[in-house]
Each structure stands twice: as C-alpha cells, then as structure tokens.
C-alpha cells in the first residue's frame, strides 16, 4: 500500500485537463490495482490525475482535503468494494497506534449502534437497485473515518467514489451531470460557462469506476459503517 501517488509535471502554457485526459485514457486499460502501487497501474492515481487537473483548470472549485460536507451519511450512502475497504483497513493498522485504533473503535461503537439496523436496510435497498435518500433527521451521523475536525483521516487512501466526487461528471438517466454537491455543482457550472474560463467539460467518472468494478468483480460492496462494524466488532 502507498500513501502517495505519481506526480505528473504540469505545463503551465496549456490547460491541464486535455493532457490529463489523454494520459488517463492511455493508462486505464493497463491499470491493475486500487491503492496498492505507486504508479499509473493504480486506478486511484488515475482518478487523482484527472481531479488534480480539474482543480488546476477550475481554481474556484470548493472541493479540497479537509471538506467533509459530502461525508454526512444522509448526503452520501457510500458503498465501497472489499478491496477498497482492505486498503483503508491496512492503512489504519499501519498508521495508528494500538491506543489510537482502540479509541477509534470505541468512538464508533458509542455513536453508531442505533443506526446500524437502518443502515442494513438501506444496504438492502441499494443492493436492489434503489437510490434511497435519507434525511438528516434519519441519519444525523457522518462517516466513521472522519477525524474530530471533520476531515478525512484516511485521505491518502480514500476510496474511488470519494476521489471522483465533486470534480468529475457522471451520466444519470442518459444525461451527463456534474457529480457533486449543489454548492460545488453551481461553482463549476459557473466556471464552465464563464466567458473568461476554460472552454471544457468535465471528464466522466464512468470509465474509471467501471474499471474499479471490473477489478473488484464478485466482491461484496457495503456501506463504510457496515464494513467497519464487521471488521472491528464491539
């Protein structure tokens, strides 16, 4: 596992996104792992290449490390594959002392038990192809991997869906739309239509996430709190 990803030298004379899209398009067929290598065979590295270029070319973007707005569970019922959870788990074990890991587990079991049955029901609905949208009152909790300040505590190894959200597009019901919260969507749309801004559309997250799905074929895909509960029992 690696906590860093390959650096691609920018050329300040050009917009970064067209170059990044070319590089990722060439590299994606050869990608073979999720978060396990320090090169472009790591799908996470390719996602980061694209999202980094979006942030370069659209500097008013609101998405950045430290923002946990999309990590509130009523906003994002985030399911990840077993391979992605294994990367998170290995990172936690490698970077936390025994006392720190125990504190994280205790905190989870103090806050999450009342909501685990509901999360199991949402899991069943998601598995059935539904798109449930719980309210803040139903799920007034956040991802268990956020730190006390509300920032992602596993940011270097965060899952694919967390990397792409806010900075790429996704086809929904046959039409591409910005894959982001309302505030970020408005910000990017304003820049995309700005006469002085780059004349670009956001790249699609679809091919990248399809590669993730292909690499994780036949693996279970669970909500992050359910992975946590099963891996770190009370």
Percentage of residues of the chain with pLDDT beyond 70: 89
Name which of 10-24, 39-53, 93-107, 122-136 the model is least confident about.
10-24
Domain tally, the chain: 1
Percentage of residues of the chain with pLDDT beyond 90: 65
pLDDT 10s digits, 56-65: 888 888 887 6
For residue 20, the enclosing domain spans: 16-231
Beta-ladder partners of 72: 142
Angstrom distances, CA of residue 78 to CA of 12, 55, 131, 163: 36, 23, 11, 12
Q: Is 8 left (phi over 0), alpha (psi -120 to 50) or beta?
A: beta
pTM to 2 decimal places: 0.88
pLDDT value at 157 more than 90: yes
pLDDT bracket for residue 101 (50, 70, 90): very high
Asked if the structure places residue 141 within a domain, the reply is yes
Angstrom distances, CA of residue 218 to CA of 54, 143, 210, 212: 32, 25, 13, 12
pLDDT 10s digits, 196-206: 555 567 899 99
Per-residue confidence (pLDDT) for residue 158, from 0 to 100: 96
Asked if the structure places residue 109 within a domain, the reply is yes
Asked if the structure places residue 2 within a domain, the reply is no
pLDDT bracket for residue 82 (50, 70, 90): very high
Asked if the structure places residue 223 within a domain, the reply is yes
Query: What is the residue whose two structure tokens read 């650096």?
Result: 7
User: Which phi and psi (to 5°) does residue 53 adopt?
Assistant: -70, -40
Asked if the structure places residue 192 within a domain, the reply is yes
pLDDT value at 193 more than 60: yes
Asked if the structure places residue 9 within a domain, the reply is no
Q: Check: CB of residue 189 under 8 Å from CB of residue 86.
A: no
Q: What is the mean pLDDT of the chain?
A: 88
SS (HEC) of the chain = CCCCCCCCCCCCCCCHHHHHHHHHHHHHHHCCECCCCCCCCEHHHHHHHHHHHHHHHCCCCCCCCCCCHHHECCCCCCEEEHHHHHHHHHHHHHHCCHHHHHHHHHHHHHHCHHHHHHHHHHHHHHHCCCCCCCCCCCCCCECCCECCCCCECCHHHCCHHHHHCCCCEEEECCEEEECCCHHHHHHHHHHHHCCCCCCCCCCECHHHHHHHHHHCCCCCEEEHHHHHHHHCCC
Per-residue confidence (pLDDT) for residue 65, from 0 to 100: 65
Asked if the structure places residue 1 within a domain, the reply is no
pLDDT 10s digits, 23-75: 999 999 999 999 999 999 999 999 999 999 998 888 888 887 667 778 988 88
- Higher-scoring residue by pLDDT: 192, 224: 224
Q: Check: CB of residue 79 under 8 Å from CB of residue 126.
A: yes
Per-residue confidence (pLDDT) for residue 174, from 0 to 100: 67
Dist. CA 164–CA 209, nearest whole Å? 9
Asked if the structure places residue 11 within a domain, the reply is no
């Amino acid at each position: 596992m690696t906590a860093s990803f390959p650096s691609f030298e920018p050329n300040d004379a050009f917009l970064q996104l067209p170059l990044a899209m070319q590089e990722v398009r060439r590299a994606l067929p050869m990608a073979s792992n999720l978060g396990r290598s320090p090169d472009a065979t790591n799908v996470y590295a390719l996602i980061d290449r694209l999202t980094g270029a979006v942030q370069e070319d659209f500097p008013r973007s609101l998405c950045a490390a430290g923002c946990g707005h999309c990590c509130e569970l009523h906003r994002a019922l985030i399911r990840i594959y077993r391979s992605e959870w294994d990367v998170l788990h290995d990172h936690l074990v490698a970077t936390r002392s025994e006392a720190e890991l125990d504190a994280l587990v205790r905190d989870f079991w103090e806050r999450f038990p009342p909501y685990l049955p509901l999360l199991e029901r949402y899991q069943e609905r998601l598995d059935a192809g539904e798109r449930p949208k719980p309210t803040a009152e139903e799920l007034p909790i956040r991802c268990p991997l956020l730190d006390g300040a509300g920032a992602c505590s596993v940011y270097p190894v965060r899952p694919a869906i967390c990397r792409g959200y806010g900075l790429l597009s996704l086809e929904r019901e046959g039409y591409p739309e910005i894959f982001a919260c309302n505030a970020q969507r408005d910000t990017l749309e304003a820049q995309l239509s700005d006469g002085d801004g780059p004349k670009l559309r956001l790249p699609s997250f679809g091919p990248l996430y399809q590669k993730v799905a292909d690499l994780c074929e036949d693996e279970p895909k669970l909500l992050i709190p359910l992975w946590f509960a099963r891996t770190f029992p009370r």
